[in-house]
């Protein structure tokens, strides 16, 4: 028996069964097509670039993962299911700039709920420190668990509340996102 031939045949079969590893790219940053959160497989819904200032500086590439792809922002926000948003930074952002971005984002996504959210926004602010190009912030929402925050894959903490999670996702998916092209990209449009 030719063990080498059998080994190559098994290796080939494994490649066919597992299928190719795929990734989507936006501005040179690759994201997997799927991630697993708490045993649940999420699919890449879309990618978008956050641009800031008059000079249109590329701050980060964002990726949105959902259990089922959707182009409907309201349906995603009302669903309350498992989701993940990943922000891969392309530009250095200071602590003050991050905190200001959160304040502005929550004011745009949930102004009426701000009094109830303030203490939890303060927790998020407390976790913020300047972030460099190449670093990644990941925010995971699981029903009943709030928003879990990871920096470069290391867990920093979880902020409880479905109301907080909805307001948080509303920063990007609500009617006043940090950029219309970013929102459109996360909802499955072109990454630009």
3-state SS class at 92: coil
User: pTM score, two decimals?
Assistant: 0.87
Distance CA 157, CA 104 (A): 22
Distance CA 104, CA 109 (A): 9
CATH of domain 22-186: 3.50.70.10
Distance CA 151, CA 135 (A): 8
Q: Which residue is it, tokens 């989701």?
A: 83
User: pLDDT grade, residue 16 (50/70/90)?
Assistant: very low
Give residue 143's pLDDT. 87
pLDDT digits (tens, 9 = 90+) for 46-100: 999 999 877 789 999 999 999 999 999 999 999 889 999 999 999 999 999 999 9
Give residue 80's pLDDT. 84
Distance CA 137, CA 86 (A): 6
Give residue 156's pLDDT. 96
pLDDT digits (tens, 9 = 90+) for 24-36: 999 999 999 999 9
pLDDT digits (tens, 9 = 90+) for 107-137: 999 999 999 999 999 999 999 999 999 999 9
């Amino acid at each position: 028996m030719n063990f080498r031939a059998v080994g190559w045949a098994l290796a080939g079969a494994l490649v066919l069964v597992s299928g190719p590893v795929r990734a989507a790219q936006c501005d040179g940053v690759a994201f997997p097509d799927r991630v697993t959160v708490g045993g649940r497989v999420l699919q890449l819904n879309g990618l978008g670039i956050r641009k800031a200032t008059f000079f249109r500086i590329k701050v980060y590439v964002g990726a949105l993962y959902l259990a089922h792809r959707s182009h409907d922002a309201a349906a995603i926000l009302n669903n309350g299911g498992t989701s993940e948003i990943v922000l891969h930074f392309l530009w250095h952002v200071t602590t003050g700039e991050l905190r200001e971005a959160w304040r502005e984002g929550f004011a745009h996504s949930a102004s009426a709920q701000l009094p109830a959210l303030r203490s939890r926004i303060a927790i998020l602010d407390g976790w913020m420190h300047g972030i460099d190009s190449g670093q990644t912030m990941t925010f995971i929402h699981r029903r009943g668990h709030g928003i879990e925050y990871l920096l470069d894959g290391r867990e920093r903490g979880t902020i409880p509340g479905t109301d907080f999670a909805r307001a948080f996702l509303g920063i990007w998916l609500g009617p006043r996102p940090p950029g219309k092209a970013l929102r459109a990209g996360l909802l499955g449009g072109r990454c630009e």
